[in-house]
Amino acid sequence: MGLAKALLLCSSIACLTFAATETTSWPPYSPTSAPIFQLSDDSQFAFYLEEMLGMASYGGSSTGEILRIATQIIPQDFESFYTACYYMAEQVFAIAESVDAKKDPVSAREAYFRAASYYRGADFFLHGNQSDPRLISLWDQQLTAFDRANALLVIPGERFSVKAHSEEIGDYESIGIFFAAYPDNSARPTILVSGGYDSSQEEGYHSQCRQILSRGVNCVTYEGPGHPTVRRQQNIGFISDWWTVATPIVDYLSTRSDVDMSKLALAGMSFGGCLAPIAASHDDRYSAVIAIDGMFSLQQALEEQFPPKSIALFNSSNVAGFNEVMNDIQANSTYPTEIRWIIGYGLWAFDTLSPFDWFTRLGEISMNATLVANISMPVFVAKAQDDIGTEQEPEIAYEMLTTGRPNGKALTYYHQFNTSLGAGEHCSLGAESQVWQVTMDWLSGVWGDWTYANN
């Protein structure tokens, strides 16, 4: 989905010292005060387990299988997460292979989709070692499983790639999957959606597209540099000129007879809630932009949560010192999984071995006054009430969008999803039905009180 869990735990005095030999006591987990019930004592593992569990509502996992995986995971042990997920992935893939898909395509499809999710889970915490061959083999397995499931859909998604060019990295390809709401070629409203820091478009089919398609609206997932498949297949990390990713896809969509270009919306989840407005600042063909959760700058959110000593080293351009601190944290299993993962995954997603390079480039991907002034269409900014991962980023993004562009107040809508209804976790994890009910209701108004299908 995007950012994963927060780093707020690393604000204690002990954590500020960064002494590799120290052990730190973190606040105990209390289920009665948490925004969502944890399936592990390790809050980062718990977050990803909840993310997979949330997909059970939309065919991406099975409740019993996720709860079984949770019993096999050892807190702070990345290999145990791999082992538990990989075992389940292999077993469920074998079930899918055993089904006669001609007789029972539903059973085969469902098992392939679940297996794909578990292969992705097995991969998720391995990025601290960028040379680990499993980063490639596991992804190939998840793509195979997903594509076999997709082929068994009543209307299979269409994979596509388009040529793109960035001033930062040169030529590359944006990739996507077009999921049509209907098999005919009639022009339909369409939502182009991406995940964020760590999520794939295959995951997006379950967490976003199923809700969108059920209303008779086409859903198009996409990935650019830094996203899982593009990072692996093209060896390129995240870039700041994100419009170079999305605009060629819009060009492609404009050639399709089944896309109503007057009702094309752009959505981004988590870090994608920053990428989507950036893309929209250079292309006025979107009728609306959706940012869930809205984000001004991921670097800024992390600065507020990283220990001050590390930020002081970064701000003083102490490259060696910052790299040493970050590398020591990543290698030290006594530190919380949250902070170790965010560093390791960030290095991988930006295709670098230097934490200073990663954090510098991360800071170049943000909304700014110039970009905001060029966003001419309505923007929906969502906030999950207790999303400590994004801190006050949705409020900052909303303020910029209301004050930094013509008619900004009328063009910007803000909505908070509440913890009391189970929607307070990052991107309202597990409450996707609430997210898309509110989002699609707003979008209906943008589209002239559009009436959705019961698909």
pLDDT tens-digit profile of 395-424? 999 999 999 999 999 999 999 999 999 999
Q: 79-82: which pairs have CB atoms within 8 A and are 24 or more residues apart?
A: 81/45, 81/48, 81/121, 81/122, 81/124, 81/125, 82/122, 82/123, 82/125, 82/126, 82/134
pLDDT tens-digit profile of 42-100? 989 999 999 999 999 999 999 999 999 999 999 999 999 999 999 999 999 999 999 99
Amino acid 33: pLDDT = 75
3-state secondary structure of 454: coil
* Cα 324 from Cα 318, distance rounded (Å): 10
Query: Which candidate, 249, 268, 250, 196, places its Cα nearest to that of 227?
Result: 196
* Per-residue CA distances from 138 to 90, 125, 145, 237, 432 (Å): 11, 12, 11, 19, 27
3-state secondary structure of 253: helix
User: Residue 147: phi, psi to the nearest 5?
Assistant: -65, -35
* Cα 122 from Cα 324, distance rounded (Å): 28
Q: Which stretches of 18-151 are assigned E, i.e. beta strand?
A: none
Q: Which residue has the higher pLDDT, 162 or 28?
A: 162
CATH for 39-153? 1.20.1440.110
Amino acid 267: pLDDT = 98
Is-contact 40 71, C-beta < 8 A?
A: no
The residue extents of the domains of the chain are: 39-153, 157-297+365-455
Amino acid 14: pLDDT = 30
3-state secondary structure of 150: helix
pLDDT tens-digit profile of 3-25? 654 443 333 223 333 333 333 34
Cβ neighbors of 80 (< 8 A, separation 6 or more) are 72, 73, 74
* pTM, two decimal places: 0.93
Which residue type occupies 136?
A: I
pLDDT tens-digit profile of 196-239? 999 999 999 999 999 999 999 999 999 999 999 999 999 999 99
Domain 157-297+365-455 superfamily per CATH? Alpha/Beta hydrolase fold, catalytic domain (3.40.50.1820)
Amino acid 32: pLDDT = 74
